[in-house]
Amino acid sequence: MSLTISIDAMGGDYGPEVVVPAAILALKAHPDIHMILVGDQDVLTDKLQQHNILDNEHFSIHHASQQVAMDESPAIALRTKKDSSMRVAINLVKDGTASACVSAGNTGALMATARFVLKTLPGIERPAIISELPTIKGHTYVLDLGANVDSSAEHMVQFAIMGSVLAELVDGIEKPTIGLLNIGSEEIKGNERVKEAARLIAETDLNYYGFVEGDGLYRGEVDVLVCDGFVGNVALKASEGVVHMIRHFLRQSFGRNIFTKLAGLIASPVLKQFRDELDPRAHNGANFIGLQGIVIKSHGGTDEIGFANAINIAVVEAEHDIPNKISKHLEVLLEGQA
């Protein structure tokens, strides 16, 4: 088997209920991989039996006696949950048993544990959360989406390098364009950190495009968009909120009376296609980039299709050996500066 992926089978809002069917779906897409489901031995044995995959060589169970709660403090999880399904799944990446791990668990605890166990890459001070967001043209990688606040100009340069390597390897884009998220008010034109980051990125060999405003993200102005983690997280969540609100109004409009319901029925195949294009499950799976190992965070409330997509991202990144490629790019860059 080509690759082994470790999976925190107890994490997320639904644990094995979603994770096990998702793993079965992921195997259909990648028939060669092996998945280690980490969590309570008894619970997982039952669940695998239920799905008739207990003897399937593509799945194995690795017992972990603890779980990190979704609302648990990362510091407490780190100190007291040394045998949690999340931590053990990450340990399997650390010791080389697995090439990547996936978890739908508590974001803060996952980031803290991954950082503690795997450490950051040489030259990277802060790992970041990167994800691809849909745009009119396709998609754009955005980072940081909330691993850090008050990111410095130097951190943003590191984010730019990591995003560039990811877009180049995963999507095959030669010299991906890099934008910096900024505001357009003529008076201000951004804060000092963003201006300094622009100067620093322009000095690297990256394909620096310039400043991009919030709406430019969804116009697909650049391949990679770099920002502070606070700003990126707010932009992402606000965007999700808008999509949710629009669906609400659309449903309401078509549900108003018998005529609108009929119109909705006739339009429903078209509306379904429209929904599919914006399906958040297709974009599920954020990468904790900058670590000495691959950790993919699935949305906690996703279903099996969404979680399978997070496993898919783990497989693709492992195939491309992303962390080592970032390291090599950083070495070249640091030599160039020396």
Kindly tell me which of 43 and 220 has the beta carbon lying closer to its own copies: 220
CB distance 113 to 11 below 8 Å? no
| Residue list 145-174, contact with its own copies (CB under 8 A) | 146-150
Q: Cβ neighbours of residue 58 under 8 Å, at least 6 residues apart?
A: 1, 27, 33, 34, 35
Neighbours of 206 (CB within 10 A): 22
Residues touching its own copies: how many (CB under 8 A)?
71
| Residue list 197-226, contact with its own copies (CB under 8 A) | 213-219
Q: Is 334 in the site for its own copies (CB under 8 A)?
A: no
Q: Is 258 in the site for its own copies (CB under 8 A)?
A: no
Nearest to 299 by CA among 289, 287, 291, 307: 307
Q: From the CB of 313, what's the least distance to its own copies, in Å?
A: 20
- Residue of 170, 254, 321, 327 that binds its own copies (CB under 8 A): 254
The CA distance from 298 to 279, in Å, is 15
- CA 210: distance to chain centroid? 24
| Residue list 80-99, contact with its own copies (CB under 8 A) | none
Q: From the CB of 125, what's the least distance to its own copies, in Å?
A: 15
Spell out the long-range contacts of 56-61 with Cβ–Cβ below 8 A and sequence spacing 24 or more.
Answer: 57/1, 58/1, 58/27, 58/33, 58/34, 59/23, 59/34, 59/35, 60/34, 60/35, 60/36, 61/36, 61/37
Structure tokens of 147? 């691993």
Q: Which residues of 24-57 are buried (b: 16+ CB within 10 A; e: fewer)?
A: bbbbeebeebbbbbbbbeeebeebbeeeebeeee
Stretch binding its own copies (CB under 8 A), from 92-100, 190-198, 300-308, 324-332? 190-198
Neighbours of 297 (CB within 10 A): 29
Helix H or strand E encompassing 138: none
Q: Is 73 in the site for its own copies (CB under 8 A)?
A: yes
- Residue of 100, 104, 167, 227 that binds its own copies (CB under 8 A): 227
Kindly tell me which of 15 and 229 has the beta carbon lying closer to its own copies: 229
Preceding omega of 144 cis (within 30 degrees of 0): yes
- Residue of 278, 332, 334, 336 that binds its own copies (CB under 8 A): 278
Kindly tell me which of 14 and 254 has the beta carbon lying closer to its own copies: 254
The residue type of 186 is E
Q: Is 79 in the site for its own copies (CB under 8 A)?
A: no
Q: Per 3-state DSSP, what percentage of the chain is helix, strand, and coil (rounded to 5)? A: 50, 15, 30
Kindly tell me which of 54 and 70 has the beta carbon lying closer to its own copies: 70
Q: From the CB of 35, what's the least distance to its own copies, in Å?
A: 27
Q: From the CB of 94, what's the least distance to its own copies, in Å?
A: 20
Q: From the CB of 154, what's the least distance to its own copies, in Å?
A: 17
Kindly tell me which of 95 and 192 has the beta carbon lying closer to its own copies: 192
Region for 68 from its dihedrals, namely left if φ exceeds 0, alpha if ψ lies in -120 to 50, beta otherwise: beta
| Residue list 127-146, contact with its own copies (CB under 8 A) | 134-136, 146
Stretch binding its own copies (CB under 8 A), from 56-64, 107-115, 198-206, 327-335? 107-115
Stretch binding its own copies (CB under 8 A), from 20-28, 45-53, 100-108, 153-161? 100-108
Q: From the CB of 81, what's the least distance to its own copies, in Å?
A: 14
- Residue of 122, 184, 301, 336 that binds its own copies (CB under 8 A): 184
